[in-house]
Structure formats: structure tokens, C-alpha cells
Amino acid sequence: MLSHEQVWAAIDALAERHSLSASALAKRAGLDSTAFNKSKRLSVDGRPRWPSTESLAKVMDATGASVIEFFDLLEQRAFDRAVPAARRRTVPLLGFAQAGAGGFFDDAGFPAGEGWEQIEMPGGAEDGAYALQVQGDSMLPLYRDGDILIVRPDTAVRKGDRVVAKTRGGEVMAKILATRTDKKIVLESLNPEHADRVFDVVDVEWMARIVWASQ
């Protein structure tokens, strides 16, 4: 269930993502510049005041954010508040460019070798999870340059899941698993400007499900 605090935190996060204040975001969306002020989030009698669906639609249109992106922010803010700093742990971190080189993964897609950094993540990052840092704009609008993706190579991957895949040619990419048969794997691009990819199963070295994103 969505909470009042969660929705407003996601709006603040979307504003921050575009280097805007809450007031500037409201103005860009064609709303009154005070519409998202913290003082407007509660009524005079202390009851929570929710943004309207029309306001949310205008904000997403003004920023180019998709519904999926906004709901990712909702989930992320709820998770961040649910896991206190004392329960956070470290996981291995690697950039996408490095991930394409040899020696960083075993045959099953688990971290191996040297060169991994460590990054503090929520306690929900289970054993076997690791982090990849997005580089470039090929994963826009869902993932931006610098975002951190937590992946689990030991978790079952199903149609519709967001995944990180590595080809035997050394290419590493974040996509949506559209189709997987005994012979073919079809990966749908997150960025509409980039074409979907079709691979023979034998040409995909490993594929791991994205379980969390720090955006």
C-alpha cells in the first residue's frame, strides 16, 4: 500500500534527479510553484494532502519520466526508509565497462578475481548479490549514468524481468527479458532509441536478474 510520505518522497526524488527544487518541478509541470511545497503536504488540521493524479501526470510529462520509473522511485524510497543504516552491508561493485572485460566473473556470473570495489548497500542485498554501475545513456530513461544496479545471479529469471546479460563476446547490457526459448533469447531495450537484441542461447554467457536500483 502506498503511503503519503512515500509518494511525496518519490516526487522529491524525481525533482532531484532533474536538478530541480520541488517548486521548480511544479512550475515546469505547469502547476502553481507552491503546489509541492512541504507546507502544502498537510492541511491546516494536520490531515495528509495527496497530489492529484493529474498533477502526477503533468510531472511525468514535464520530466519525461515513465510510470515505471516513478513507481521504481516509490519502491526505492519505501525500501530506503525500511532498512536502517545499522543494517546495511557491503557488496562488490564494478562498472559496466569493466564488466565486459575478462576475469571479473565465473561461468555462472558470480564475482571473481580482483578489481572489485565495495559499496554499502541495504541489508536486503543477499549473499551472492553484487552491484554494477551504469555508464552512459543507453539505459535511459529507467537507469541513468551513475545509477547502481544490484543483481542476483542465483535468482530465477523469468519473462518480463529486468536483467543484466553478458555475451560471450564480452558485451554487458541491462535489458528486459522478452523471450527465452531453447535456442533464442530476446532482450528488450530499456531505451526506445536502442534496438532490441536477439541472441542464440549459446552466445549468452550468463544472465542475472536486477533486484534493486539505487537512483
pLDDT tens digits, one per residue of 148-160: 898 989 888 999 9
- The average pLDDT across 27-44 equals 91
The residue with cell 510520505 is 5
Side chain identity, residue 188: E
- Residue in the structure block whose three cell numbers are 564480452: 170
Where are the chain's structural domains?
4-82, 88-214
What topology does CATH give the domain 88-214?
A: Umud Fragment, subunit A (2.10.109)
In 97-158, beta strands by DSSP E: 117-121, 130-133, 148-152
The dihedrals phi and psi of 208, each to the nearest 5 degrees, come to -130, 145
Task: Give strand pairing partners of 151.
Answer: 130, 210
Whether residue 187 contacts residue 177, with contact meaning beta carbons closer than 8 Å, is answered with: yes
pLDDT given for residue 88 in this prediction: 57
CB 65 within 8 A of CB 74: no
- The pLDDT tens digits for 64-88 are 888 877 877 776 655 555 445 545 5
92 to 86, 117, 128, 149, 183: CA distances (angstroms): 19, 6, 9, 11, 32
**Res 123 pLDDT > 70:** no
Answer yes or no: are the C-beta atoms of 214 and 166 closer than 8 Å. Answer: no
The span from the CA of 188 to the CA of 168, in Å, is: 19
CATH level 3 topology of 4-82? 434 Repressor (Amino-terminal Domain) (1.10.260)
Our measurement of the distance from residue 17's CA atom to the centroid of its chain's CA atoms, rounded to an integer in Å, reads 13
- % of the chain exceeding 70 in pLDDT: 89
Instruction: Read off the pLDDT of each residue in 44-67 and give the average, rounded to a whole number.
Output: 89
pLDDT at 75: 67
Q: What is the rounded average pLDDT of the residues 42-61?
A: 91
Query: Which pTM does this prediction carry?
Result: 0.59
Report yes or no: 130 and 118 within 8 Å, Cβ to Cβ: no
Q: Assess whether pLDDT exceeds 60 at residue 132.
A: yes
- Number of Cβ within a 10 Å radius of residue 89: 16
The three grid cell numbers given for residue 82, joined into one nine-digit string: 525500511
Would you state the pLDDT for residue 82?
45
